[in-house]
Amino acid sequence: KIIEGLLADLNLPKEQKEVVKRVIHATVDLDYARGLIFHPCAIEAGLAALRTGKNIVTDVNMVKVGIRREILSGFGGAVACLINDQEVVKSSSQSGYTRAAISMRKAHQVMDGGIVAIGKAPTALFEVCDLVRKGKARPALIIGVPVGFVGAAESKKELITLPVPFITNQGGKG
């Protein structure tokens, strides 16, 4: 009720407003009320993916633990976060690429038709964008809100050019 009162003058579709309220609840940051950018089909695509039991792929465990797995699994979906996968760690140390980017490469097949939620690593979002452009990944929705001074804003700019529904924001705030 407190957040609803603070957003009384916010003119958004109901479904988008519900997402904004949850983001503000989690962050206590009212700037998200006017800072989130929604592709016109984002909510519909995300709900369809969830209802049909598709997976959610995350870049880091911090995002993974924020997803209510018991609800997701009730629809048949699962959460995948491969940041600490032994093959990912080994490949990262040998190649010099970030674990976040390599984890997205490894997870590309389980993200098809599902949701990708990037909450920390710009390199993960850049990799997902590259996989989509090359036709190697076909997520239904990409939530791209990586944080940082290096690459975060640029990765979000790249995201909004893709032919895939998205939710993001501008700048380095994640």
Please indicate, yes or no, whether residues 56 and 27 belong to a single structural domain of this protein: no
* Percent of the residues in the chain that have a pLDDT greater than 90, as a whole number: 69
Residue 115: which H helix or E strand, with range? strand 115-118
Q: What is the DSSP string of 31-69?
A: THHHH-EE-TTHHHHHHHHHHTT--EEESSHHHHTTS-H
Please indicate, yes or no, whether residues 32 and 45 belong to a single structural domain of this protein: no
Active site residue 39: no
Q: pLDDT tens, 62-98?
A: 898 888 888 888 899 999 999 999 999 999 999 999 9
- Mean pLDDT, the chain, as a whole number? 93
Q: Is the pLDDT of residue 100 over 90?
A: yes
Please indicate, yes or no, whether residues 48 and 67 belong to a single structural domain of this protein: yes
Tokens of 28: 């206590």
Q: Does the pTM exceed 0.95?
A: no
User: CA 153 → CA 5, 123, 133, distances in Å?
Assistant: 30, 11, 19
Please indicate, yes or no, whether residues 90 and 126 belong to a single structural domain of this protein: yes
Please indicate, yes or no, whether residues 114 and 162 belong to a single structural domain of this protein: yes
Q: What is the pLDDT of residue 65?
A: 84
Q: Catalytic: which of 25, 34, 90, 157?
A: 25
**Tell me, what CATH number does 68's domain have?**
3.40.50.10230
Q: What is the pLDDT of residue 2?
A: 87
Q: What is the pLDDT of residue 138?
A: 96
More reliable by pLDDT, 139 or 174: 139
Please indicate, yes or no, whether residues 105 and 76 belong to a single structural domain of this protein: yes
Q: What is the pLDDT of residue 68?
A: 85
Residue found under tokens 């490949």: 91
Domain interval for residue 43: 39-169
Average pLDDT of the segment spanning 133-154: 96
User: CA 104 → CA 11, 121, 127, distances in Å?
Assistant: 35, 11, 7
Query: Whole-angstrom Cα distance, residue 147 to residue 119?
Result: 7
